[in-house]
Chains A and B, each alone.
Chain A
Amino acid sequence: MTRVEIDGVERAYGAVKVLKGIHLDIEPGEFVVLLGPSGCGKSTLLASIAGLDPVQGGEIRFDGRDVARDEPSDREIGMVFQSYALYPTMTVRKNMSFALRVAGMAKPEIDERVNWAAGVLQIEPLLERKPAALSGGQRQRVAIGRALVRKAKVFLFDEPLSNLDAKLRGEMRAEIKALHEKLQTTFIYVTHDQIEAMTLATRIAVMSGGEIQQFGTPDEIYRFPQTRFVADFIGAPSMNFVDAVLRVEGGRASLEMGQVRVELDDYAFAAPPRDGQPVIFGTRPERITLQGDPSPGAIPARVTGVEPMGADTLVWLDTDGHRWSARVSPEEANALGREVHARPDPQGISLFEPESERRL
């Protein structure tokens, strides 16, 4: 169990700043997922934690010890790569024992550790095979085993499931989660897949443009996105947005969108709202109910498409030029005409400041 503190880490390739002073405080035993679109700096950050990519500023502390300038091997980390990166000429056993052999460990202890790791990952029958004779899932297991035998303080995963097919990905995801619960070691995991992030993480760090947009539990990230980027990036389809104006009358806040008024009695404002303040209103597809007749607080919309997904149905809407989506039950979807009214759930509203795009 190791606390990982990332304190102002900077990395630039020439004029391009890939990491702009990252701060991240990871509790011992946490499972932190670095999530973001490609090019957001998440893999660079992971490589910096591993020591494979030199940082140009800031500190990386493992249990208070600054390791930012240490060699990867001096950091007591284990790392799993997207391409598995198994040594092709070595058997599974040799692959897993490589680090221990390099460190000059005694043979009985090497065997003991390899057998233990193989038992944890259930790959004992594969120990004498070469990587070429393994399936994708088995290779991934060996790659994890290679990190396991070292009894690393911190486990790093760089998009480990991207090369697997959908079914196997689901299985391996569950296994990695079970492994974390078993080992109670600090895990740092990079992915661009939000399902992986939501299901695995104790906390997610959403990154964009070399900065951390938000660091919080999956629930916080999903329900209370702190920036418009996070709101837009998390969730499929993404959050619906529209420009609106705040009204404050007699201490009660409400939202004005053209003719429509939405009451904001339950919204937890970060700062006191001002009357006439422009805002970006956001609501998730599953927080919208569709109805045929107009009612106060419902936004008139035209149905442009219907996508049955099985468990629910996605209805695409045109609300005065904005493309929205609503997730409704198949029965509700069948009852809809062309003209509908979309009523946002007051509990599921996010408001953003148009300039800074930060949550209000």
Chain B
Amino acid sequence: MKDQNAIAMAAIYAFLAIAAAFFAIPLIIMLLTSFKTAEEVREGSIFFLPESWSLAAWGKAWGEACIGRVCEGIGGNFWNSVLITVLATSISLLLASLNGFALAQWRLRMSGPILGMLLIGAFIPYQIMIYPLVRLFATGGMHQTLGAIVTVHVLFGLPILTLIFRNFYIGLPEELIKAARVDGAGFFQIYGMIIVPMSVNVFLVAAILSITGVWNDYLLGLIFAGPNFQPMTVSLQNLVGTQMGLPEYNVNMAATILTALPPLAVYLLSGKYFVRGVTAGAVKG
């Protein structure tokens, strides 16, 4: 019996190792390639370790790579993405948690229909709203501004984030709110002093969902951000997709990893919450 168990365990681990390698190989090749020189890449030995480890491609991708005629890399766009993500995430978390709290615990007359509309909002593909939004922003004179891209991200993030908060707050005991009302606290005092401290975990989950969503977005950034606040994903595509002369794969790989790093870091730092965030999105969106 014992031997059989050992064999079964070995087989399971072997399978898991192969599966993990299968998914890790592209990332490994990207990393290896990014550390090679341009000449070495051209030799085509993509599975070998670099002959000499070089950070040149990383430096170039960050600050010198040419997109069209401008040779400033994608480092500047990194800060655009940070700005957009921080603004959009903090605004949507604040609004979504307030909405969710009001919908779950404040007996609103229309909370049922509002919830239904939110669900619809979470299911409709956002692409169909792009043209009306462009027209709207153009009419308001804020097309392709920081305000436009942040507003769009907040709008599209709100339904699903509100649902996440609402589903958490619906589980809080009603008597808690009643006790606070007897104690004389108003809506915002109850929200700020009692509800927010209780929902740190949900804030983390929602933040992860929002950060990864906003950071990884390409289409909205391309359309709404404009040249001054172009996010990193858009500049990466411009770098990789339009190259003059020979393609510099090592620089492309380095730029791609740089772009993918923040969500990856969020994932590594908060694995438990990340899984919760992903499942929350999967089940309720």
Contact = CB atoms under 8 A, between A and B. Distances in A.
Task: Decide if A and B are genuine partners.
Answer: yes
B182 A52 contact: yes
Contacts of A83: 173, 175
Contacts of A99: 182-185
Contacts of B178: 47, 50, 52, 72, 79, 81, 85
Interface residues of A, number: 24
Interface stretch (B71-79, B150-158, B191-199): B191-199
Given A82-B175, A83-B175, A98-B193, A89 B198 contact: yes
Interface string B178-215: 11111111000100011001100000000000000000
A102 B183 contact: yes
A82 B175 CA distance: 9
A89 B175 contact: no
A36 B260 CA distance: 64
Contact of A102 (B176, B189, B197, B198): B189
Chain B interface size, under 10 / 10 to 19 / 20 to 34 / 35 or more: 10 to 19
The 8 closest A-B pairs by CB, nearest first: A73-B184, A99-B183, A89-B197, A85-B179, A85-B175, A81-B175, A79-B182, A72-B182
Contact of A88 (B182, B184, B193, B198): B198
A77 B184 contact: no
A89 B183 contact: no
A73 B183 contact: yes
A311 interface: no
A98 B180 contact: yes
Interface SS of B by simple majority: helix
A87 B193 CA distance: 9
A269 B173 CA distance: 50
A52 B178 CA distance: 7
Contacts of A309: none
Interface in A120-161: 146, 150
Contacts, number: 60
Interface string A72-102: 1100011101110111111000000011001
Contacts of A87: 176, 179-180, 193-194
A332 B182 CA distance: 55
A94 to B, nearest CB: 9
Nearest to A87: B194
Nearest to B177: A85
B13 to A, nearest CB: 39
A72 B181 contact: yes
Contacts of A88: 198
Interface string B79-92: 00000000000000
Contacts of B185: 73, 98-99, 102
A73 B176 contact: no
B178 to A, nearest CB: 5
Nearest to A74: B184
A146 B183 contact: yes
Contacts of A270: none
A239 B50 CA distance: 94
A52 B184 contact: no
A150 B198 CA distance: 24
Contacts of B194: 87, 89
A155 to B, nearest CB: 11
Nearest to A82: B175
A103 interface: yes
Contacts of A79: 178-179, 182
B184 A78 contact: no
Contacts of B179: 79, 81, 85-87, 146
Contacts of A73: 181-185
Contacts of B180: 87, 98
A52 B175 CA distance: 10
Contacts of A77: 182
Nearest to B194: A87
